[in-house]
Amino acid sequence: MTTEAAARRRGPYGMEYARIEVPDLAASIEFLQYHVGLQLEQHDDEYAFLRADIEHHSIELVAAPQREASWTTAVGFSVESDAVLDDLRERVTAAGHEVLELADRVKGLVQRGFAVKDPNGLIVELFTEFAEYAEPPLIELRPLDLVHPFLATEKYEETLRFYTEVLGFLVSDYVGDVTAFLRSEDRYHHSLAIQRNKEFYVAHLCFMMKSFDHVMRGRARAQYKQVPIASDLVNHSASTSIAFYMHDPVHGPRYELCDRHRVFTPEEHETHRARRMSVDPRNIDVWRPAADDWGRF
């Protein structure tokens, strides 16, 4: 490892969960079970925890009957050690952000942690030792991991600075000055993405399935139940994953089911220079035949 890499202040490890307010809790539980393959572990009238693999949960649904559509309020990222957590807290404080408490339901599921609001008001919870189960769910068609949130924001530069300069995410690639893919210490090509937009919203959450076959089975279920497929099969240029996106706004942001999201080697993680790709659909999906083929995103 080079001196530069050894001196790098580390970022969060990886995404663990999203917290989503939904108008109809029971219907959204059913949606996530059938269409994403999550297992319901714990719930009452107020909330539900659903998991993908051994981590305690990937999605926390919160009942919000006053809402017409869902709204993602928080994302949770694990941190490797107390030392990194303390360093992150120091950087957050030094940058003038308020250090907040973790949500009550999360406090008992981690060892230590804190929360901070990003420039859009999205709560980012950071913690060590997220609780886990001894066994993965006994469901064959399920995701292995929640990989990333994709944030659309009217504060693109400010958001990019927050996640890179304060929280220590590394830039993997840019598409023009429109999209930035950021990675954390789990070395996925991106554990967070930011897109310039007219307003803020969590645009999608990406789940990694076991295989392309399982992505296609998820797609078949979406077609069978007529869940809108917001973007059909895409062969991602930057992260090399193949995915589709489904979207029913009452149940959450778009859910991306993917196969083979690129994972950097430890060496690539320390040495990769962010590529600057032009704003061309082929730099998002290598299966686009021409520079003007934007229509199907």
Residues of this chain that bind Fe ion (CB under 5 A) = 150, 206, 256
CB of 152 vs Fe ion, minimal distance in Å: 12
**Tokens 């009550």 sit at which residue?**
104
Smallest gap, in angstroms, from Cβ of residue 204 to Fe ion? 6
Residue 185 CA to residue 140 CA, distance in Å, equals: 28
- Whichever of 206 and 257 has its CB closer to Fe ion, that residue is 206
Closer to Fe ion by CB, 17 or 150: give it.
Answer: 150
Residue whose tokens read 């869940």: 227
Report the nearest approach of Fe ion to the CB of residue 241 (Å).
8
Q: Which residue is nearest to Fe ion (CB)?
A: 206
| Nearest distance from C-beta of residue 51 to Fe ion, angstroms | 20
In this structure, are residues 157 and 119 in contact, taking their beta carbons and an 8 Å threshold?
no
Distance, in Å, from the CA atom of 288 to the CA atom of 297, rounded to the nearest integer, reads 10
Give the integer Cα–Cα distance in Å for 225 and 217.
12
Closest approach of Fe ion to the CB of residue 250, in Å: 21
Query: How far is C-alpha 273 from the chain's CA centre?
Result: 22
Nearer to Fe ion, 150 or 156 (CB): 150
- For Fe ion, the closer CB: 32 or 203: 203
25: amino acid identity, one letter: L
Structure tokens at 96: 């003038």
Distances (CA, A) of 251 to 20, 32, 103, 248, 256: 8, 8, 21, 6, 13
Nearest approach in angstroms of CB 187 to Fe ion is 16
- In angstroms, the Cα distances linking 114 to 40, 166, 185 are 26, 14, 18
Cβ distance to Fe ion smaller for residue 148 or 251: 148
Interatomic CA distance for residues 289 and 18, integer angstroms: 35
**Which tokens in the block code for residue 154?**
């009217």
150 versus 188: smaller Cβ distance to Fe ion: 150
